[in-house]
Amino acid sequence: MRSCPVCHQTYNDDSIRFCLNDGTALVTAGPTAPPSYNVPSTMTPPTPQPWAQPPRRRVWPWVVGGLVVVTFLGIGLIVLIIAIAAMSSGNSNTSNQNSSNSNRIVISENNSNSSDDNSNSDSNPDTSSIASAHMAQDSNGEAGEEAIIFKSSDRTIHCVIRLTKPVTGTDIKFRWVGVDAGSWKDYTIKEIAYTTKENESVVNAHLTYSLDWPTGSYKVDVYVNGRFARSVSYQVI
């Protein structure tokens, strides 16, 4: 077998000396060597050592901690808002009550002065200086008939006491109390203080309310020279 060294055309006929394609002299063809290929190496890559890997940070503790902080802050804010609202409501109610009382109650003191002394005890009454005490209806600005029952529309109610012996400079205090009259339960409505003049044995204190009196039971505690002397009860219907 012959072959062309240029175009590699092979010829089985040994009588042919030249390539019929390009005229090149043919050469005797030897056994063809199998093609060679570069086989890649199958080496296993080295295993990375543990100490060579970068440390991984755990994220979930930070997330949990953040949620706990936010929760406590939210609870604290809610408690603070509730406390502020409760304080504001309490102050508002107290202010409204004081305003209502100051606007609705008109005191005619009959030459007497207001007093805030609540240190006296209601026990062991001293009756030696009071001959009599009673409630009375209003009659043109003066104490009229004695009464223990009043209508809610009676604007002015009198309390009249008579001293056993007139002594100049005797200190008298009248304390009007709502015993059980609607929202006035064991509630001190007003205190009126007065100092007697020379030869004055009768003292009249009167309380005026610009609206209808709440129905229920009332009393007037009378103090003489700082000691509890008498309590006069009455009803409003």
Interval 39-57: pLDDT, tens: 555 555 556 555 555 566 6
pLDDT classification of 121: cutoffs 50, 70, 90: very low
pLDDT attached to residue 120: 41
CA 70 from chain center: how many Å? 20
Whether the per-residue pLDDT at 91 is higher than 90: the answer is: no
pLDDT attached to residue 189: 96
Q: What is the C-alpha separation between 37 and 18, in angstroms, rounded?
A: 33
Number of neighbouring beta carbons within 10 Å of residue 180? 13
pLDDT attached to residue 104: 41
Q: What is the C-alpha separation between 12 and 1, in angstroms, rounded?
A: 5
Q: Which residue has the tokens 């007065």?
A: 194
pLDDT attached to residue 197: 94
Residues composing the chain:
237
> Do residues 138 and 155 touch, judged by C-beta distance below 8 A?
yes
pLDDT classification of 228: cutoffs 50, 70, 90: very high
pLDDT classification of 32: cutoffs 50, 70, 90: low
Joined tokens for residue 208: 């005026």
pLDDT attached to residue 49: 57
Mean pLDDT of the chain: 79
Amino acid at 217: S
Mean pLDDT: which of 27-36, 113-122, 166-175 is highest?
166-175
Whether the per-residue pLDDT at 94 is higher than 80: the answer is: no
Q: What is the C-alpha separation between 186 and 175, in angstroms, rounded?
A: 12
